[in-house]
Amino acid sequence: MSATAEQPAFDLADPAAYSFFQRENVRFSDTDMVGHVNNVAHVALVEAGRLAFAFDAAERAGVETGLVTFVRLEIDFRDDLYYPAAVRIGARVLRVGNSSFTVGIGVFDGDRCVSTSVNVLVHLGDDRRPAPLPDAMRSALERSRLGQP
Amino acid sequence: MSATAEQPAFDLADPAAYSFFQRENVRFSDTDMVGHVNNVAHVALVEAGRLAFAFDAAERAGVETGLVTFVRLEIDFRDDLYYPAAVRIGARVLRVGNSSFTVGIGVFDGDRCVSTSVNVLVHLGDDRRPAPLPDAMRSALERSRLGQP
Amino acid sequence: MSATAEQPAFDLADPAAYSFFQRENVRFSDTDMVGHVNNVAHVALVEAGRLAFAFDAAERAGVETGLVTFVRLEIDFRDDLYYPAAVRIGARVLRVGNSSFTVGIGVFDGDRCVSTSVNVLVHLGDDRRPAPLPDAMRSALERSRLGQP
Amino acid sequence: MSATAEQPAFDLADPAAYSFFQRENVRFSDTDMVGHVNNVAHVALVEAGRLAFAFDAAERAGVETGLVTFVRLEIDFRDDLYYPAAVRIGARVLRVGNSSFTVGIGVFDGDRCVSTSVNVLVHLGDDRRPAPLPDAMRSALERSRLGQP
C-alpha cells in the first residue's frame, strides 16, 4: 500500500520534473553540530514546500484546500546541505487516490538534489474522517501529476 | 523602564535562588554548526521553563493563567551548552506591576549557569488590551517573588 | 529494497515491543497553528530517541558508534500529540545489513502511539564511504533486534 | 552597562532607518498553537538577519568576520506575525565599543514592525577571550552605525 512499492511517475531528483518551486533560505539555526543542515530542518524545508504547493494549487484551481491531513513522509537524505544556501523546493503530485494523494518533493541547492520525499496526504470530511476528494481538487491534483501548468 | 535598569531582587545565575525548576533535555537538533546549543534553542528552553512555571503557579494558586502575552525578553548567554545534556530551568518572579510582571529565569547544566533572562509578560483583559492583574494572580506572583512556596 | 517492503519483525506501535525508551518533553515551540505538535517537531523527537538509543547501545556494547550517517526516514503520523506532554520514545533494531541497519521507533504519549518510523542508517569507513559494520557493532545491533537487553 | 540604558541612535521600528535588509520566509513550522509565529521563531528570524548582515558587512569591507560571539539579546515583541509571510529583517550597528558592538534589528511584515531587538556581540582573540576590534572591522561597523553604505 505504500507509495514506495510503486515506480514513481517521474524522477524526484531531477529539477526538470517540477514546474512548481518554492524558494527558502537555509537559516543558521537549521544547522547542527555535524556542520551541515540538520535532518529535522530538511523536513521543515519539505513542509514549507509542500504547503506552498498546496496553497498555490488550490488558488490556481479556484478551490478551497479543504481539510487535509499529512499522514506519512518518506524522505531520502541524498546529499549534505550547508549554511548559507537558498534552496529551491520542487513539488508535484505523484498519485491521486480516492481520499488521499501523494506529493513528490525534491529539494535543490542549485541543481544538486539534497533530498527527495514522498508525502502522503488525506482529505477529511466535516466529521474529520477520510472523505473522497472533491472533483475540483481532484482535477487540480491530476493536472499537477501530468506536469501541466 | 526596562527591568535591567533596576537591581534584580536575586542573583539570576544562582541555582539556590529558585524553588521552581523545569527539567528539559537538550536535543541533537538544538545544536548548530559551531558545535554547541544554538542561541535560538536556548530561547526555546527558556520558553519551556517560563510556561511550565506559569502553569505550575496558576495551579498552585487555584487561579486561571488568564490571557497573558509575552512582550519582551532579555537574555544573557553566559556559557556554552553542549549535547547531550539535561538542564534545569529555574524560574522566579522578579517584579509584579499593575498589568505586567517579570519572570527571572536561569538555565543550569548541573550547577553551571548557561543563560539568565528577564521575561516581561502582560495580562490582557477580554478586549485583549492590558488589564490589571487579578488579585489571586497577583498574590501567587508575589509569593514567587518572595521565594515562598 | 525499502524496509517497508518487508514485514516488520515487531509491531512498531506496540510499546511492549521496546526495551529501550528515551523520555522527552514536548515544548511549547513544538506546536503549530493547527493546535497540535507540528510534524517537523515529531521528527525532532524521533531524532532525539534515535541518537539516545545509538549512544546507549554503543556504551552497553563497549564499542564506538563510529561514523554513521542517517540516509532515510519513513514516518507514519498516527495520532495527534498536544502540549504539554512527556513522551516515551521506544527504539529497537529492525534489520541488520552489511553496512547499513534499520531502527524502528515508536513515540508514545502514555500508551497511545502517536508516530512510528523506520530509520535507515549507514556505517561509513574512514574514507566516508559505506563500510561493513564492525563485528562488535553488529553483535550489539543483533541483540537489540532480538529484543535482548 | 546595558544598551537599553542609552537612547538608541535611531528608531529601531522604522524601516527607513535601515539600509541592509535580509528577506526570509516564515515557515509553517514557525507557528505555534496560539496561531501566530512563535516567539522562538522570531528569534530565529533575528539570528538569520544578524548573520546575513555580519557576512555582508565583512565582505563589503574586505575583512574577515573573525571570531565573534553573541552574548546578549534584548527583543521586544511588538506585533503578531502570521503564516504565510515574507519578512524583511533590517540590521544596523547601534554602538561600537572596544571589543564589543551592538546591532539593532527590526523585523518588518510589509512596513509593519513585528519585533525590534538589540544584539550584543563580542570580538574574540585567538585565545577566545575578548579582544579589541581590528581597525578594518571597526571602520565597517562605524559606517553602518552612521547609516553609510
Q: Do B35 and A33 touch (CB under 8 A)?
A: yes
Model pLDDT, residue A8: 72
pLDDT of residue C2: 42
A24 touching D, CB under 8 A? yes
* Vertex C15 angle, CA C14 and C17, to 5°: 75
Q: With contacts defined as CB-CB under 8 Å, which chain A residues touch B32?
A: 28-29, 31-33
A84: contact with B, CB 8 A cutoff: no
Rounded average pLDDT over D82-92: 98
Q: Cα dist. C31→C28, D32, D55 in Å?
A: 6, 5, 32
Query: Which candidate from A47, A74, A76 shows the least CB-CB separation from C39?
Result: A47
Tell which of A22, A25, A65 to mutate to test the D interface (max D CBs under 10 Å). Answer: A25
Band of pLDDT at residue D5, cut at 50, 70 and 90: very low
Q: Which of A114-123, B3-12, B18-27, C115-124 has the lowest mean pLDDT?
A: B3-12
Taking each helix axis from N to C end, the angle separating B39-61 and B135-145, rounded to the nearest 10 degrees, works out to 120
With a CB cutoff of 8 Å and minimum separation 6, the contacts of A130 are: A99, A100, A122, A123, A124
The per-residue pLDDT for D58 is: 83
Contact with chain A for residue D40, Cβ under 8 A: no
Given a cut of 60, whether residue C5 has pLDDT beyond it is: no
- When mean pLDDT is compared across A15-24, C49-58, D84-93, D95-104, the lowest value belongs to C49-58
pLDDT of res. D49: 98
Q: Which residues contact C128 (CB under 8 A, 6 or more apart)?
A: C67
Q: Do A76 and C71 touch (CB under 8 A)?
A: yes
The percentage of residues in chain D with a pLDDT greater than 90, rounded to a whole number, is: 77
Span D114-126, pLDDT tens digits: 999 999 999 998 8
| The predicted structure's pLDDT at residue A6 | 56
Q: What is the pLDDT of residues B109-120, one digit of tens each?
A: 999 999 999 999
Among C65, C64, C57, which Cα is nearest to C148's?
A: C57
**Cα angle value C46/C50/C53 (rounded, 5°):** 140
| Least reliable range by pLDDT among A17-31, A60-74, B115-129 | A60-74
Give the chains touching B; criterion: ≥3 Cβ pairs < 8 Å: A, C, D
Tell me the pLDDT band of D61, cut-offs 50, 70 and 90: confident
Check whether C41 has a pLDDT greater than 80: yes
- What residue of C is the nearest CA neighbor of B23? C25
Q: Which chains touch C (3 or more CB pairs under 8 A)?
A: A, B, D
C-alpha triplet C136, C141, C143: angle, nearest 5°: 95
> Minimal Cα–Cα distance from B29 to chain A, Å?
6
Name the closest residue on chain B to residue C42, using Cα atoms: B29
Q: D61 or C86: whose pLDDT is higher?
A: C86
Chains touching A (3+ CB pairs < 8 Å): B, C, D
Nearest CA in chain A to B38: A29
Q: How confident is the model over B137-147, as pLDDT tens digits?
A: 899 999 999 98
Q: What is the pTM of this model?
A: 0.94
Is B33 within 8 Å of chain A by CB? yes
* Percentage of chain C exceeding pLDDT 90: 77
Q: Which among D32, D36, D83 has CB closest to C28?
A: D32
Q: What is the pLDDT of residue D62?
A: 80
Residue B121 CA: distances (Å) to CA of B54, B98, C94, D44: 11, 11, 48, 20
pLDDT tens for B76-109 read: 999 999 999 999 999 999 999 999 999 999 999 9
Rg of chain A in Å (alpha carbons): 15
State yes or no: pLDDT of B20 exceeds 60.
yes
Chain-chain contact of A76 with C76 (C-beta, under 8 angstroms): no
Peptide bond into B84 cis (omega under 30): yes
Measured between beta carbons, the chain D residues lying within 8 angstroms of C26 are: none
Look at residue B12 and tell me whether its pLDDT is greater than 90: yes
DSSP run (H or E) holding A39: helix A39-61
Interchain pair B25, C29: CB under 8 A: no
pLDDT digits (tens, 9 = 90+) for A128-142: 899 999 898 899 999
Put simply, whether B40 touches A (Cβ < 8 Å) is yes
Query: A27 contacts in D (CB within 8 Å)?
Result: 24, 44, 47-48
What is the secondary structure of B71-124 as a DSSP string? EEEEEEE-S---SS-EEEEEEEEEEE-SSEEEEEEEEEETTEEEEEEEEEEEEE
Over A52-104, what HEC string results?
Answer: HHHHHHHHHHCCCCCEEEEEEEEEEECCCCCCCCEEEEEEEEEEECCCEEEEE
Contact between chains at C32 and D28 (C-beta distance less than 8 A):
yes
What pLDDT is stored for residue D63 in this prediction?
75
User: Residue C91: beta bridge partners?
Assistant: C20, C105
* C127, β-bridge pairs: none
**What tens digit of pLDDT does each residue of D16-49 get?**
999 999 999 999 999 999 999 999 999 999 999 9
What average pLDDT does chain C have? Answer: 92
Long-range contacts of the stretch B131-134 (C-beta < 8 A, 24+): B131/B99, B132/B98, B132/B99, B133/B96, B133/B97, B133/B98, B133/B99, B133/B101, B134/B63, B134/B66
C28 inside 8 A of chain D by CB? yes
Residues of D in contact with C28 (CB under 8 A): 32-33, 38
Note whether D14 contacts A: Cβ–Cβ < 8 A: no
Contact check, Cβ <8 Å, C32/D36: no
Report percent pLDDT > 70 for chain C.
93
Q: State whether ipTM is beyond 0.90.
A: yes
Question: Would you call B41 an interface residue with chain A, using a CB distance cutoff of 8 Å?
Answer: yes
Q: Distances from the Cα of D46 to the Cαs of B105, D6, D84, in angstroms?
A: 21, 21, 17
- CB of C83 within 8 Å of a chain D CB? The answer is yes
C84 and B27 within 8 Å at the Cβ level: the answer is no
- Distance of alpha carbon D142 from alpha carbon D136, whole angstroms: 10
Across the interface, whether the CB atoms of A41 and B29 are under 8 A apart is answered: yes
The dihedral of CA A38, B34, D37, B87: what is its sign?
positive
Query: What amino acid is encoded at D83 in this protein?
Result: Y
| Residues A82-96: tens digit of each pLDDT | 999 999 999 999 999
Tell me the one-letter amino acid at C80: D
Measured between CA atoms, how close is A127 to chain C, in angstroms? 16
What does the DSSP assignment read for D88-144? Answer: EEEEEEEEE-SSEEEEEEEEEETTEEEEEEEEEEEEE-TTSSB-PPPHHHHHHHHHH
- The pLDDT tens digits of the residues spanning C93-138 come to 999 999 999 999 999 999 999 999 999 999 998 898 999 998 988 9
D42 touches chain C (CB under 8 A): no
**CA distance readout (Å), D47 to A7, A29, A125, B109, D13:** 42, 8, 41, 24, 17
pLDDT at D4 (0 to 100):
46
Q: Give the per-residue pLDDT at D99.
A: 96
Q: Would the CB atoms of D33 and C33 count as touching at under 8 Å? A: yes
Closest alpha carbon to D42 in D127, D93, D106? D106
pLDDT at D85 over 90: yes
